[in-house]
Amino acid sequence: MIETAHRSRDEEPTHVPVSPRWGEARGGRVPALPRRVRDTGVDSQVLQGIVIKLAASVPTFSTQWAVRKLKLSVQIIEELCWQLKDERLLDITEQQGPYSYVYAATQRCREFAKNLMDISGYIGPAPVALADYVAMLEQQYREFPRATAAEIQDSLSSIVLTPEAVETASLAAASNRSLFAFGPAGNGKTSIGRCLQQTLVGDLWIPYCISVEHQVIRLFDEQVHQVLDVADQQHAEIDQRWVRVRRPFVVAGGEMTLQELDLVWSPSCRYYEAPRHLKANGGIFMIDDFGRQRIAPHELLNRWIVPMESRIDHLTLVNGQKIQVPFQTMLIIATNLTVSQVADPAFLRRMGYRLHVEAPGPEAYATIFQRYAATHALQVLPGVVERVLARYVQEKRDLRGSEPRDLLERSRDVCQLRQRPLLVDAETIDIAWRGYFGSSTS
């Protein structure tokens, strides 16, 4: 027999804005689990709509299955489902235990779901209110510990840089100011950005998605966000709408357009995908190969003036409505072009630091060569590095910091093809040179 215990209804509003709360679980601070709909910070109609669409997508579903799909507590799922039952949108087909039922969508529910899908096709983890995301992000951002000079310099030690370059990059990272890196291609600008991510101390709680009225913006991206301690996150006291990730490092290259810096609306799915810089909140957003995009550099730079100064950005919904979102990220812009080609003084004044990443000299090149070989178990015979440097002079090529790696990787290919030890001698490096640069052996 199905239990039909009386459930009282409060006379409170269906949605009362609340501030996100922290709780304690496994000795650490976590987003506290809400146990009532009104404590989620999201309009009950939004949550009901997702339950309706979920119910209409399957013949029947259990309370526990809905909990796993929507990342809501058992109490909230039951509260929502019983509301929908009272409205003749769900039927109870079986009771599996206390607060555990099997539900089936009614025909009325399926018709209602079709109308809801025309507004938003999102079915998945329940969203977090935009205001709660902003509050939680800003609180975490204020409390992130700052990396020390020694930690930053240690992270950059894998790149051969001048002391001045290390100092400038360290200042930018320690202050979390923007960084404008320029210089010839292949000398470590992108690598600097990746190394600086290692200095980002602390982890970050982000929501799977955000709600703006009845629209959903998907924020969590498996291609961008590295999930931490998945097992620990399943603790019963954690709000499962949030996921704990490593502070992100997001790169946008020459393919980037202005449209990609706004909300991406999917006509087929009928929900929004967050732009890359919103996904980078709490970490680093790097614009690589700046000036190679299909838009004029000044247009792209102008796009960042307001976010850099105010730490907020404005995005546009398909109906023209503007929403305000946080821009709590370290912006790195890297270019191979001359500064005068891509930036004007007004924009450069707004950049926190400027870093000229120069091409290595012969000594630095030799250091990069030997260091990469040692790291990858390649034995370089005496005289090989000098032979390589002589080839650069002979062919009037500029030294590039990325080319020792490229030549040594091709040397390894030669050794593996010939099934011999990883030994880089004159013959091997000449074959690698020819395969990389396309020039004949001297």
**pLDDT tens digits along 353-401:** 999 999 999 999 999 999 999 999 999 999 999 999 999 999 999 999 9
pLDDT of residue 5 exceeding 90, the answer is no
The single-letter code of the amino acid at 44 is S
| Distance between CA atoms of residues 52 and 119, nearest Å | 13
**Kind and range of the H or E element at 303?**
helix 297-310
Quote the pLDDT of residue 11.
39
- Give me the phi and psi of 259, to 5 degrees please: -60, -30
What is the spatial distance between Cα 328 and Cα 305, in angstroms, rounded to a whole number? 14
Amino acid at 171: L
> Do residues 42 and 15 touch, judged by C-beta distance below 8 A?
yes
Quick check: 17 pLDDT over 50?
no
What CATH fold (topology level) applies to the domain 131-356?
A: Rossmann fold (3.40.50)
**232: pLDDT confidence band, cut at 50, 70 and 90?**
low
- Percent share of the chain, pLDDT over 90: 64
pLDDT in the model for residue 29: 78
CB 261 within 8 A of CB 277: yes
Picking from 171, 206, 163, the residue whose alpha carbon sits closest to that of residue 20 is: 206
Cα 262 from chain centre: 15
Residue 298 or residue 197, greater confidence:
197
Q: What is the rounded distance in angstroms from the CA atom of residue 205 to the CA atom of residue 217?
A: 16
Topology annotation, domain 362-437:
Helicase, Ruva Protein; domain 3 (1.10.8)
CATH class in words for 32-123: mainly alpha
Query: Which helix or strand (DSSP H or E) is residue 243 part of?
Result: strand 242-246
Residue 192 host element (H or E): helix 189-197
pLDDT at 19: 55
Question: Mean pLDDT across the chain, nearest whole number?
Answer: 88
Domain ranges of the chain: 32-123, 131-356, 362-437
What pLDDT score was predicted for residue 1? 30
Residue 265: helix, strand or coil by DSSP?
Answer: strand
* Model pLDDT, residue 442: 44
Residues 80-126 pLDDT 10s: 999 999 999 999 999 987 778 999 999 999 999 999 998 899 999 99
Helices and strands of the chain, counted as H and E runs:
17, 21
pLDDT at residue 129 tops 90? yes
Q: Helices 44-56 and 74-86 meet at what angle, rounded to 10?
A: 80
Indicate the SS3 state at residue 233: helix
